[in-house]
Amino acid sequence: MRFFLESKKLMLLALGIYVILRLSFSFDIVSEYIEQITIYVFIVILAATGLNVIYGYTGQFSLGHAAFYGIGAYTSAYLAKTSGLENFLFFPAMILAGGLMAALVAYIIGIPILRLRDDFLGIATLGFGILVRVFLDNSDRISETLGGSRGFTGIARLTNLEIAFFVTVFLLLVTRNFISSRYGLFWRCIKEDETASASIGIDTARMKLMAFVYGCFLAGVAGALYAHLYTFLHPSNFDFLRSIDFLIIVILGGMGNIAGTIYAGLLWVGFIEGLRIVLPANIVDLRWVFIPLLLIVLMMWRPYGLMTKKKG
């Protein structure tokens, strides 16, 4: 009962945020650029939440999260364009298809690579991410529609505030429900001590695979939303550095903390795009000097993340 009561409060809060954003957009209080960045924030939060499930809650070090983000994006865009169903009526199906394709690939590769741990798992997922990037660079050999290294063009713009906001809120609530369930307890046990978890009867292989597949599903859904927001995809959008972006958000907000991921995702995108607006065009690239300095200061000040209390 307490969970449903708290979810009701969160839904009312989410509804209030949506009304404020909708009014701001409708009355042109903010520019179209700010509108697009606002929608992008929800996409980033959703993808980072997927990595938080994998790494923050289960302790599986993944450096290939952007690959699943890209798989979801390309799958949704390709299905929508080739089927001719580029409209809002069929868009939810395309979003789901992007998430399911990412989850299917995660399941297939997760069975062998999740036997690895720590740095070895990180290297394996990094290798997979590079493999996906190379595949996308040469995807035009499979279908000209995919564009290969030239990029995927002509994607319909279907992602709007309503779709991005409510899909993100719904999946965040589902994730919160997972974390509050026995599966979330199993994930946290595995993170603390996998050997001890196995000794008390937890099927660690199954639980790790479940967390990995679900986290990648969230990344795939986020990728589908991204594809239909910017209407252009390029393999460089889903490289190793994008995985690092998601990893920074998870660590900055606090591993194993959904609220922290939301907060850090907002700050991360807001800071990067804010510097793009504030800095003159000739020195805008200097933001990549300020950002690492900020991260160093934040990690010295809050080593466990912005929303996580000091352990012990």
* Overall number of domains in the chain: 1
Confirm whether 198 is domain-assigned.
yes
Partners of 152 in the β-ladder: 233
Q: What is the pLDDT of residue 138?
A: 92
Give the span between the Cα atoms of 228 and 2, in whole angstroms: 37
pLDDT band (50, 70, 90) for residue 6: low
pLDDT of residue 206: 92
pTM surpassing 0.85?
Answer: yes
By residue range, what is the domain housing residue 46? 42-239
List pLDDT tens digits, range 169-202: 999 999 998 898 889 899 999 988 888 888 888 8
Instruction: Flag whether 8 is in a domain.
Output: no
Higher pLDDT, 114 or 277: 114
Any domain includes 15: no
Using one digit for the tens of pLDDT, what is the confidence trace for 151-170?
898 898 999 999 999 999 99
d(CA 38, CA 161): 8
Residue 272 has pLDDT above 60, yes or no: yes
Nearest residue to 114 (alpha-carbon basis) of 162, 75, 58: 58
Task: Please state the length of the chain.
Answer: 312
Calculate the CA 305 to chain-centre distance.
18
Strand partners for 233: 152
pLDDT exceeds cutoff 90 at 299 = no
In a domain, 130, yes or no: yes
**10 exposure class (CB count in 10 Å sphere: 0-12, 13-18, 19+):** middle
- DSSP alpha helix (H) spans, the chain: 2-26, 32-51, 65-83, 91-113, 118-137, 161-180, 182-192, 194-199, 204-230, 240-253, 258-278, 287-301
For the record, the structure tokens of 59 come out as 């302790």
94 found inside a domain: yes
Assess whether pLDDT exceeds 80 at residue 281. no
Q: Closest Cα partner for 148 from 74, 226, 239?
A: 74
| Overall average pLDDT of the 229-236 stretch | 92
pLDDT value of residue 301: 79
Phi then psi for 233, rounded to 5 degrees? -125, 140
Please report the pLDDT score of residue 310 as a whole number: 58
Percent pLDDT > 70 in the chain is 96
Mean pLDDT of the chain: 88
Most confident of 30-34, 102-106, 151-155, 234-238: 102-106
Q: Classify residue 240 as exposed, middle or buried by CB count within 10 Å of its CB (0-12, 13-18, 19+).
A: middle
* Count of other CB atoms within 10 angstroms of residue 184: 20
Percent of the chain with pLDDT over 90: 45
Tens of pLDDT, residues 47-60: 999 999 999 899 88
Q: At residue 3, does pLDDT exceed 60? A: no
Asked if the model's pLDDT at residue 45 lies above 60, the reply is yes
In a domain, 26, yes or no: no
| pLDDT, tens only, 66-109 | 999 999 999 999 999 988 788 888 899 999 999 999 999 999 99
DSSP reduced 3-state for 31: coil
Whether residue 284 is contained in a domain is answered as: no
Provide the 3-class DSSP secondary structure of residue 152.
Answer: strand
Residue with tokens 């979330």: 184
Residue type at 175 in one-letter notation: T
Q: Is the pLDDT of residue 116 over 90?
A: no
Residue 114 is assigned to a structural domain of this protein: yes
